[in-house]
Structure 1
């Protein structure tokens, strides 16, 4: 064999390389919907596209958006946590009380995050031990956490007296005068949780359990432990969001968070995470929450009563669920027709 023949044999040929194909992101639908909504409002009300207003929208998305990130993991595993709003509130209340008692605000904030994780652990232990769906468990803990939070704060807003700490300054600081640090943390959290969901063993297990719990069990995945870990993660994210809200606002109202859960679930569904489990999209949840914020802001720019935003959010959620079911039906029907043609 000559040197030329040997080189030809060893060297890869162009057809040996895999063909590169562009894949549209699965969130393209909600991204286009968000862009169209912003364009329509911007054409009618040019001030809407002002950079200050856009960064303000991102800031308003931050705290609820964090909860939506955690909810993606739960829906992906076929679970729903109804107590997220009160875990958010209770964690912030505990952190605020520690600050009032003289603890360093950074340590108090860390304690608030750990406390949120403990609340999630309570939900998880009850759900796993009694083998109950988390939606049933959290229906009860919703009222439990609400009642305990109101008992602890005596039904009053808690305002840390000394807000000269760097904790309050850092959380409320705006980069370049427009981008809140809290919003930057939200974006970094979204990126990190996207990687966790799609690039780690834990994320794989979450989606496997949500896709087919029986098959996951037979494959050796500890489904009970994964459920527990997911609920603890949800609690920790609630604690993080609550303590950051405290640092951003400088106080925590006794009823703050009471109406969060429906908005959070709506954002996740609008973003493309199915209620049937087995799959989740962090990017979609973030875009979904931004769509809700754009709806609320757009109504204000058009001079429409802001109370209509709740109705519009519900309508968009119903539309998103309907489209999801319709797409799944057509995919299933197409697969059935393909099988019939192959066997026919």
Structure 2
């Protein structure tokens, strides 16, 4: 007969039971780091973290934060949109000129957001038609949109009148005395778009295209359509940020938003978005 030796069990293996591993969201590290920095800053300089300063910090972070929300979807799809800052500026300029021309500010704001979405659509269609990465396509459209914005705005600061009760007056105000409306809009949209990315069919498709475009196509996902819609979303978020900036600041200057694309990309990556899909 053949004797089969059985290895003795490892010490403590009898008591080892499979258990659930706690998986924290990718954003946890950034949140913990931010909390630690604010805590250290408050300990070193208590006056720097009072309500007024935190309100100002939230207001300043809201605009590039809105672009970062759209950039999360673009990066998840393994693309980069360099034209976001230029779209931001052109939509703000376009909205300001409409208000100056006498259009209702609410309609002008909607037109500005629609213009941003339209520019995103152009980016998406060019990406599909030319079969080039969005990085290269938006590098070209960035300069074109920026030049168009300077021509339309004549290189000047545009300050439309903000009538009481208009969208511009609303966005320049504060809720509960201290909380900026722009910050509230950013937080609400960030939570909503997080749900869209992780709990909806569109979000699953964006992740699938970013993970493996060929496998996604074999699975029946319309990859070209997903790419176009993602860039449309990016343009709409940039347009919304431009309208909010116009309302909060009361004007749009030639240099506004020049670094917003880079800030949005940086914020999205620090927040846990992977460049590999």
TM-score by length of 2: 0.90
Show CA shifts across 1:102-158 (max 9, x none).
000000000000000000011011001111100000000010000000000100011
- Count residues in correspondence: 259
CA distance in 1, matches of 2:258, 2:28: 32
CA distance in 1, matches of 2:211, 2:21: 27
Show CA shifts across 1:19-56 (max 9, x none).
88754333221121111111111111111221221122
Report the CA distance shift for 1:30/1:161 in structure 2 as closer, same or farther (over 3 A). Answer: closer
Higher percent of residues as helix: 1
What does residue 87 of structure 1 align with?
A: 87
CA distance in 1, matches of 2:215, 2:231: 21
What does residue 161 of structure 2 align with?
A: 161
CA distance in 1, matches of 2:161, 2:52: 30
What does residue 51 of structure 1 align with?
A: 51
Deviation, 1:66, is 0.2
Q: Is the 8 A contact 2:71 2:264 kept in 1?
A: yes
Q: Is the 8 A contact 1:117 1:232 kept in 2?
A: yes
What does residue 25 of structure 1 align with?
A: 25
What does residue 237 of structure 1 align with?
A: 237
CA distance in 1, matches of 2:203, 2:148: 33
Q: Answer yes or no: is 1:63 the counterpart of 2:63.
A: yes
Q: Answer yes or no: is 1:212 the counterpart of 2:179.
A: no
What does residue 138 of structure 1 align with?
A: 138
Q: Is the 8 A contact 1:87 1:238 kept in 2?
A: yes
Deviation, 1:191, is 1.1
Show CA shifts across 1:266-299 (max 9, x none).
111111111111xxxxxxxxxxxxxxxxxxxxxx
Where structure 2 has 5 or more consecutive residues not aligned to the other structure, the ranges are 1-18
Show CA shifts across 1:73-104 (max 9, x none).
00000000000001000001110000000000
Mean alpha-carbon deviation: is it higher for 233-242 or for 172-181?
Answer: 172-181
What does residue 296 of structure 1 align with?
A: none
- Asked which structure has the greater RCO (Cα within 8 Å, sep 6+), the reply is 2
Query: Pairwise mapping of residues 156-305 of structure 1 onto structure 2 (< 5 A)?
Result: 156-277=156-277
Deviation, 1:166, is 2.4
What does residue 127 of structure 2 align with?
A: 127
